[in-house]
Structure 1
Amino acid sequence: MPVESDAELAEILEYDHVAVVGCSSTPGKDAHDVPQYLLDHGYDVIPVNPYADEIFGRAAYDSLADVDEQVDVVDVFRPSEEVAGIVDEAIARDDVQVVWTQLGIKDDDAARRAEDAGLRVVQDKCIKVEHGRLRA
């Protein structure tokens, strides 16, 4: 069952290393402004975007599987139909604790697989909104 309680969301927001799959290099897009907000609030944001070389002055990785840094939370800014593959990559890693899909992004089957693999899942919520509500 995806995380819904404020207590669990607040606990998840204590993780430091957030890989943003679908991170955008274009200011004004949510996939840019939300990770920028996370950076501004002390998170280690790891951009994942195969069409960018660098975002926020950091190397952008082509896929979650390519990330060679620690990842606690995978924040997904990709269409719902791409979530299953991202979850597969998250499950294959030994460091991911949480898969978080942004507003409007949901895949219940992938969420169940992630939970069965021991990951916590947040679906259809904005990490910036939840941070502002619970931690700011």
Structure 2
Amino acid sequence: MDETAERILRDFTTIAVVGLSRDPAKAAHSVPAAMQSAGFRVIPVNPTADELLGERVYRSLADIPDSVEVVNVFRPSPEAAGVAREAVRIGAKALWLQQDIVSAEARAIAEEAGLLYVEDRCMAVVRAITAIRKN
């Protein structure tokens, strides 16, 4: 098990999900829903929705008025570096790229700014394996 991934889930509760989908059949919807069910606070970031998972949706990370601990990314790998820059700007503590999303540039940006970093891992799978819950 990845120690960094486990540490992120153990130490943090608030997760902004960039690319949270409206489609319940997609991982970009079911994974955040599973995290929410396990007691994590999920803040959706999606430019085309107003409410997802019963939460207000924000257009960008910069629009979120609350403190964000973890930024979880469900966007294509080429977009990850831009999300990493936004995560640094808002003072996030960790950046997590979902399964099949990999970016050397995002890793460099996050690590240079002192963020914990995980890529190419499913947050819900790691949470299930570690049995970490917030409720």
TM-score (structure 2 length as normaliser) = 0.92
Task: Return 5+ residue gaps in structure 2 as ranges.
Answer: none
Quick check: 2:77–2:103 contact (8 Å CA) kept in 1?
yes
Q: Distance in 2 between matches of 1:124 and 1:7?
A: 14
- The answer to whether the aligner puts 1:113 opposite 2:109 as a matched pair is yes
Is the partner of 1:78 in helix, strand or coil? coil
Is the partner of 2:82 in helix, strand or coil? helix
Q: 1:40 is matched with which residue?
A: 37
Is the partner of 2:31 in helix, strand or coil? helix
Over 3 Å off, 4+ runs: none
Task: Return 5+ residue gaps in structure 1 as ranges.
Answer: none
Q: 1:78 is matched with which residue?
A: 75
Match of 1:90 among 87, 90, 95: 87
Q: Give aligned pairs, total.
A: 131
- The answer to whether the aligner puts 1:122 opposite 2:118 as a matched pair is yes
Q: Post-superposition shift, 1:110?
A: 1.7
